[in-house]
Structure 1
Amino acid sequence: MPIDAAKALAAAPRSGEISWTPKDVQLYHLGIGAGVPATDPDELRYTLESRLHVLPSFATVAGAGSPGVISGLSMPGVDVDLARVLHGGQRLEIHRPLPAEGRATTTGRVAAVYDKGKAAVLVLRTEAADDEGPLWTNDAQIFVRGEGGWGGDRGPSTRLDPPVGEPVRVVERAVREDQALLYRLSGDWNPLHADPEFAKLAGFERPILHGLCTYGITLKAVVDTLLDGDVTRVRSYATRFAGVMYPGETLRIRMWRGEGEVRVAVSAAERDDAAVLADTVVQHT
Structure 2
Amino acid sequence: MPIDVDEAIGAELPPVDFTWSSSDVQLYHLGLGAGADPMDARELRYLADDTPQVLPTFGCVAQTFHATEAPTVRFPGVDVELSKVLHASETVTVPGPIPPSGKGRATTRITDVWDKGKAAVIWSETTVTTPGGDPLWTQKRSIFARGEGGFGGERGASTSTEPPDRAPDVELSIPTLPQQALLYRLCGDRNPLHSDPDFAAAAGFPKPILHGLCTFGIGAKALVDHFLDGDASRVGSYGARFAGVLFPGETLGARVWQEDGRLLAVFVAPGREDAVVLSGVELVPGTSPLT
Q: TM-score, normalised by structure 1?
A: 0.94
Q: Which residue of 2 aligns with 1:282?
A: 283
Structure 2 residue 129 is the aligned partner of structure 1 residue 120: no
Query: Could you tell me how far 1:66 is from its partner in structure 2?
Result: 9.8
Structure 2 residue 20 is the aligned partner of structure 1 residue 20: yes
| CA–CA separation in structure 2 for the residues paired with 1:184 and 1:121 | 25
Which amino acid in structure 2 is aligned with residue 35 of structure 1?
G
Q: Which residue of 2 aligns with 1:6?
A: 6
Cα-to-partner distance string for 1:65-112 (whole Å, 9 max, x where unaligned):
499x957x3122112222211111111111221000110111112111
Which amino acid in structure 2 is aligned with residue 41 of structure 1?
A
Q: Which residue of 2 aligns with 1:80?
A: 80
| CA–CA separation in structure 1 for the residues paired with 2:281 and 2:134 | 28
Structure 1 contact 60–66 (Cα < 8 Å) conserved: no
| CA–CA separation in structure 2 for the residues paired with 1:80 and 1:245 | 24
| CA–CA separation in structure 1 for the residues paired with 2:190 and 2:50 | 29
Q: Which residue of 2 aligns with 1:163?
A: 164
Structure 2 contact 255–266 (Cα < 8 Å) conserved: yes
Cα-to-partner distance string for 1:177-234 (whole Å, 9 max, x where unaligned):
1110110001000111111111111111011000100000000010110112221221
Percentage of matched positions with identical amino acids:
47
Query: Could you tell me how far 1:39 is from its partner in structure 2?
Result: 1.7
1:58-207 alignment, distance < 5 Å: 58-65=58-65, 73-130=73-130, 131=132, 133-207=134-208
Which amino acid in structure 2 is aligned with residue 32 of structure 1?
L
- The alignment partner of 2:223 has SS state of helix
Query: Could you tell me how far 1:132 is from its partner in structure 2?
Result: 5.8
Q: Which residue of 1 aligns with 2:271?
A: 270
Structure 2, unaligned runs of 5 or more: 287-291
| CA–CA separation in structure 2 for the residues paired with 1:120 and 1:207 | 24
1:14–1:272 distance in 2 versus 1, CA, 3 Å = same
Q: Which residue of 1 aligns with 2:53?
A: 53
Higher helix share: 1
1:18–1:164 distance in 2 versus 1, CA, 3 Å = same
Structure 1, unaligned runs of 5 or more: none
Structure 2 contact 224–232 (Cα < 8 Å) conserved: yes
1:207-218 alignment, distance < 5 Å: 207-218=208-219
